[in-house]
């Protein structure tokens, strides 16, 4: 449902005449690092070092111009990964597969308007966790990052960036639950920190 609402919103944005004059749409691929959740319990068993595996991530960006050095941007990225943890001291093991999606909206500030354009950015939004057999969860997230774009042509742009994504994990409630009632529960409120290194190709309209 969240992906469907996102696509509807993007369609409305793209079809808005005010934004269609300088719109940049891109796709990217990269690696996501980090993902520590913390200590947890599951069905009475103690789990330490609960985290999301590092791995590939992909997604898309939609960016449009403001009348200054700022550009507003929507980011969606996705990681097909696994929940890992040390169950009752038996060593790190794979617990379940999971998909982590980030939906973020914010802005980038550009230090140049030339063919080579370094930038920094800040975004707010949500992270959605989808794990087969367990309840899906959506949590507040924000992102800080930077990178550079290089215009290959007037309408085709390379986009390289590094982003830090912080997702709030509320320790007072269950993070993942299965239907019988067993849950992974973080022991304390904290942030899951991930880093996304990516390279993309954007098209300007």
Q: Report, as an integer, the average pLDDT of 126-140.
A: 87
The predicted model gives 148-156 an average pLDDT of 95
Tokens in use for 17? 């005449």
Mean pLDDT confidence for 37-58? 85
Residue 5: pLDDT band with limits 50, 70, 90: very low
pLDDT number for residue 172: 60
The mean-pLDDT minimum among 32-36, 65-69, 101-105, 168-172 falls in 168-172
On average, the pLDDT of the chain sits at 84
Q: What is the pTM of this model?
A: 0.83
Measured CA angle at 70 (ends 65, 73), to 5 deg? 65
How large is the average pLDDT for residues 98-114?
Answer: 95
Instruction: Scan for tokens 């997604």, then name that residue.
Output: 59
Instruction: State the pLDDT at residue 87.
Output: 82
- Residue 9 · residue 2 · CB < 8 Å: no
Q: Mean pLDDT across the stretch 127-146?
A: 90
Average pLDDT over residues 53-60: 96
Tens of pLDDT, residue by residue over 171-201, are 666 666 765 556 776 655 678 999 999 999 9
Residues 6+ apart with CB under 8 A from 180: none
Q: pLDDT value at position 15?
A: 47
Q: What is the pLDDT of residues 77-99, one digit of tens each?
A: 999 999 888 888 888 888 889 99
Report d(CA 84, CA 95) in Å as an integer: 5
Q: Which residues contact 158 (CB under 8 A, 6 or more apart)?
A: 149, 150, 152, 199, 200, 201, 202
Given this model, what pLDDT does residue 181 score?
57
Does position 136 have pLDDT exceeding 90, yes or no?
no
Number of H helices, E strands in the chain: 2, 12
Span 7-46, pLDDT tens digits: 445 544 444 443 345 899 999 999 999 998 877 777 777 8
């Amino acid at each position: 449902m969240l992906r469907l609402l996102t696509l509807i919103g993007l369609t409305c944005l793209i079809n808005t005449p005010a934004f269609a004059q300088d719109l940049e749409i891109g796709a990217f691929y990269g690696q996501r690092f980090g993902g520590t959740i913390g200590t947890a319990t599951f069905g009475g068993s103690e789990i330490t070092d609960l985290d999301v595996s590092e791995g590939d991530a992909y997604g898309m960006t939609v960016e449009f111009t403001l009348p200054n050095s700022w550009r507003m941007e929507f980011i969606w990225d996705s990681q097909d990964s696994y929940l890992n943890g040390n169950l009752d001291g038996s060593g790190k093991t794979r617990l379940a597969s999971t998909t982590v999606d980030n939906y973020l909206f914010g802005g980038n500030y550009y230090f140049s308007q030339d063919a080579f354009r370094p930038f920094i950015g800040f975004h707010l939004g949500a992270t959605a966790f989808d794990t087969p057999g367990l309840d899906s969860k959506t949590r507040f997230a924000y992102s800080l990052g930077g990178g550079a774009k290089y215009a290959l042509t007037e309408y085709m742009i390379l986009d390289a960036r590094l982003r830090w994504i912080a997702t709030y994990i509320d320790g007072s409630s269950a993070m993942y639950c299965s239907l019988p009632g067993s849950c992974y529960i973080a022991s304390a409120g904290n942030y899951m920190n991930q880093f996304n290194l990516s390279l993309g190709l954007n098209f300007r309209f």
